[in-house]
Amino acid sequence: MGISMQTKYGNIEISNEVIATVVGGATTEIFGVVGMASKNQIRDNLNEILKKENYARGVVVRQEEEAVAVDVFVVVSYGTKISEVSKNVQERVRYQLDTTLGVKANSVNVFVHGVKVMQDA
Q: Does domain 16-116 have CATH number 3.30.43.10?
A: no
Query: What pLDDT score does 96 carry?
Result: 95
Query: What pLDDT score does 37 carry?
Result: 85
Q: What are the Cα distances from residue 47, in Å, to 26, 42, 50, 115?
A: 21, 8, 9, 12
pLDDT < 70 positions in the chain:
1, 40-53, 119-121
pTM of the shown model: 0.84
Query: What pLDDT score does 41 carry?
Result: 60
Q: Look at residues 116, 111, 120 and name the one whose alpha carbon lies nearest to residue 41.
A: 111
